[in-house]
Structure formats: C-alpha cells, structure tokens
Amino acid sequence: MITLLYFARLRESLGTGREELALPAAVKNLGALRVYLAQRGEAWAVEMAAGRNLRAAVNQTVATADTAVTDGDEVAFFPPVTGG
Amino acid sequence: MITLLYFARLRESLGTGREELALPAAVKNLGALRVYLAQRGEAWAVEMAAGRNLRAAVNQTVATADTAVTDGDEVAFFPPVTGG
Amino acid sequence: MNVRVQEQDFDISAEITAMRSGNPKIGAIASFVGVVRDVNDGDSVATMTLEHYPGMTEKSIAAIIEQARGRWEVLDALVVHRVGTLKPTDQIVLVIVASTHRGDAFAACEFIMDYLKTQAPFWKKELTPQGGRWVDARVTDDKAAQRWEK
Amino acid sequence: MNVRVQEQDFDISAEITAMRSGNPKIGAIASFVGVVRDVNDGDSVATMTLEHYPGMTEKSIAAIIEQARGRWEVLDALVVHRVGTLKPTDQIVLVIVASTHRGDAFAACEFIMDYLKTQAPFWKKELTPQGGRWVDARVTDDKAAQRWEK
C-alpha cells in the first residue's frame, strides 16, 4: 500500500485529499503512477494529464517522473506552490 | 559671522563643539577656512591638516573644499560618519 | 533556527527581542513580513485561505534555512507562516535572520523568502466578488528564486 | 515617510502595525534592526555612546528616503535612529520599508541602511577595558554604499 495525498485545487477537483492504494505491480515510478491515476477518467484525466502543470513529492521530498515509488511511500500531488 | 560646529573626535580634541567666527575677508570657501583654522596651532593643526580624513557640511549639506562659505553660514567639521 | 506553521498571528517585536537577548554577537537583524493585500490581479480580495502540507512544510523550510546557513553567516533564523483564513492587512509570513553584519542578514532573509515563495508547500485561495479562486504561481517568483542558483 | 532621532527604544511591531493598517495596498514589509554587539575589533564593549548633528541628521535621512522612492516602489518608509548611551544587545537603528512586492521592499531597505552607514551624521564612541574610543569608519561600509552608484 502507498498513501496518496492531494492538495489545493487537486484536492477539490478530485474530491479527496487522501487515499490508500495497493501499488499496481507495473508502477515503479512517479511518472507511471501519474499515468495510472489519469486512467480513472473524468477529473483524474484532466488533473493528471501530461500537459498539466503538476508538482509531486515522494516521502515529503520534491520528486520527478523518474523518482521511484515503492510500497509504504507517501506520495503527494499538488499545483505549483503559492505561499509567502 | 559664521557658526562653526565640531562633532565627535573633533569636538573633543578641539575642546569646543560650537563657536561664532567673523569670517576673514580672504576666506571664500571651505578649503580656505580649513587652512585658516589649522593656523591656530596645536590640536587645530593636527585635526585640520591637509592629510587628515575630515568631512564637512555647509548649511547641513555635505560640502567639499571648493564649496563657497559666506556670512551667515553654518559650517560643520566632523570625522567620517559611523552610525547605523 | 526555528520554523513554525500556525493559525494565530505573530509578534515580530517579541521574536526579535528573544533572538537578540540570546546572543550578544548579533549586530544585524533583517526581517520580512508578508501582508494580505486587498486587491490581486485586479479583483478585490475579501479573504484569503492558506492550505499547506503538514510535515513537508516544516521539513522543506528547515532545508531552506540550512542552505542559507551554508552561504552566509547566520547566527539565528526564524520562519513563521500562518495558515487558515486571513483578511486584507493581516500578516501572513515572517522571516527573521540575525547575523554579525547586515549584508549577510539581508541576503539570507531575501533568499529564504524567495525559496518560501517557490518551494514551500503552501497554497492560497482568494475569495473575490466572482467567488473563490486558487492563486496561480507567479513567473516572477520563480525568477526571483533562480537568481540564487549560480 | 517618517524620520525620528531619539534616546528611547523603539517597538518594531507597533511601527509595522501602524504602517500596514494605514494602507491595504501593502503586501511586503522589509525591515532592519541594528544591535549593539559586545565585541568590536577584538575588544569587549561595555557601552556605546551615539552623537549626531541635529538638523542635518533628519535632513540627510529624508533625502536618502527620497532617493529610494525614486528607484523603487515605496508605499511607506520609517527610519528611527537612537542616540545617547547604549549597551550590548540594545537596539540602535530601525529601518522599515513597505511596498506592494518584496523585491522593492528589500532593495529599498538595504539601500537606506547602506547610506545611513556612510552619509548620515552619527558617530559612535565605545567604552572598552582600554577606555573610550571613537569607532573608525569601515571601508566595507563605503563599498556597500558604492554598490548602488551605477
């Protein structure tokens, strides 16, 4: 299982801020996870689309498409940050 | 008459912070005034010496050797500033 | 070195007093306060709600402070970032950097603010007469942060 | 825009609160506090006495703020400089600059501090175990001020 977190605009449009997911065997990294989630359709297809300006973190560290994702990880997806 | 002001190290070594002076006819600018004051001898010769790192203001505006000095002016001599 | 994320307001005097009483080597304290403006992108803003990623927020800000310490002489540093709902003229963020000399204090403080704007996981949602909207990330903020990467 | 020379201490929170309550366009407030250090040039400092040139001080600081307003967007600015006898960890000087965005606030605040150090008529005398001594002007301060002249 991995923990998935969604923040800000994503949390609202996906209708959830947190879920537990059994990691599919074929999903080895963040890029593959994003493609997998986009296949859920509707808002998922929009928010996870390849062209969408999306940021992610694995275990609370900024991550890129080739960052490995393994069982037990905490993975977060969110829009570019706007604090300060 | 002009008003002469001395600050910080100058005030201490010259033994005065303020004096009124009848401007000698030959003194037309700040450089000439400095030469005139240096002729008072002792501490004056030391503090007003040509090589001394000295700053001055005429009517509360930073001035240089060729700044004109005329009757009624307020002239101040002081070391480089060290505030802030 | 201290990082806090909180709903309540902060008092810059109290923070600076605590910092300088703790270290007589401090000669220079640069600080920054971010404030909610009443207009953004041409629309009036009634309230501003800040969301963050608990855990990652504190971790990423601590990492930013460590980067600043590697570049400049930083005797002490504090970051306080508010979350929840704020209104115009409310304080949002406080950064304080203490050093021996002012050049280091100013540079480290501005560096931390530039990175807070571009890397720390906070998101703002504004309530305007047209409804709620998520604030878009600014290209100028990314540019400000990139200045330091050389 | 406000300049004060005074013996009593200042409260940065009160000054910032007054500034931001007066103008809802303010989004960024950069500030600087100078503090008396307990060591200077290798000697311990017991007290520090500040002298100034009344009249010229206020005039030259107001001119410095005007220069800053000509270069950056400055919505409000305050300079408070203390005179008289201070001790280590005491506050000496406060500069606050408010703007819409942080880049302007930081630049104008540092500019005003650099010029305060090199142009405003203040002089410091330190009391050390070797007796009283007037502080020498620093070459680094002149260099910091010269950065802006281009």
Q: What is the ipTM of this complex?
A: 0.91
Q: Are D36 and D45 in contact (CB under 8 A)?
A: yes
User: What is the reported pLDDT for C138?
Assistant: 73
User: What is the reported pLDDT for D1?
Assistant: 74
Residues D124, B14, D88: CA angle, nearest 5 degrees: 15
Q: Is D122 on the interface with B (CB under 8 A)?
A: yes
Q: D86-128, pLDDT tens digit by residue?
A: 999 999 999 999 999 999 999 999 999 999 998 999 999 999 9
Please enumerate in sequence order all residues whose Cβ is within 8 A of that of C70, keeping only pairs 6 or more positions apart, or say none: none
User: What is the reported pLDDT for D5?
Assistant: 97
Report the distance separating Cα A19 and Cα A16, nearest Å. Answer: 8
To the question of pTM greater than 0.80 for the whole model, the response is yes
In which band, very low, low, confident or very high, does the pLDDT at B43 lie, cut at 50, 70 and 90?
very high
The answer on pLDDT for C149 being more than 90 is no
Backbone torsions φ then ψ of D32, nearest 5 degrees: -140, 135
User: What is the reported pLDDT for D125?
Assistant: 95
Backbone torsions φ then ψ of B11, nearest 5 degrees: -55, -40
B51 CB burial (10 A radius; 0-12, 13-18, 19+)? exposed
The answer on pLDDT for C150 being more than 90 is no
Query: If you measure CA to CA, which chain A residue comes closest to C137?
Result: A82
Q: Are C102 and C31 in contact (CB under 8 A)?
A: no
C-A interface (Cβ pairs under 8 Å ≥ 3): yes
**Alpha-carbon dihedral sign for residues D101, C85, D17, C128:** positive
Average pLDDT over residues D41-45: 85
Locate all alpha helices (DSSP H) within B1-84, ordered by sequence: 8-14, 30-38, 42-47
In which band, very low, low, confident or very high, does the pLDDT at C41 lie, cut at 50, 70 and 90?
confident
- In this structure, the number of other CB atoms found within 10 A of the CB of residue B61 comes to 11
Instruction: Break chain B into its structural domains and give their ranges.
Output: 2-78
Query: If you measure CA to CA, which chain A residue comes closest to C121?
Result: A81
Pick among 1.10.1330.10, 3.40.30.10, 1.10.760.10, 3.10.20.30: CATH of B2-78: 3.10.20.30
Strands C2-6 and C76-82: parallel
User: What is the reported pLDDT for B21?
Assistant: 97
**Residues in chain C closer than 8 A to D31 (CB atoms):** 12, 30-33
| Chain C contact residues (CB < 8 Å to D) | 11-14, 16, 20-21, 24-39, 88-89, 91, 100-103, 105-106, 109-110, 113, 140, 144
The answer on pLDDT for D139 being more than 70 is no
Q: Which two tokens stand for residue C64?
A: 């930013």
Report the distance separating Cα D34 and Cα D125, nearest Å. Answer: 16
Closest Cα of chain D to C7: distance in Å?
18
Parts of chain A with a pLDDT under 70? none
Choose among B5, B60, B81: nearest Cβ to D122. Answer: B81
DSSP one-letter code for C67: H
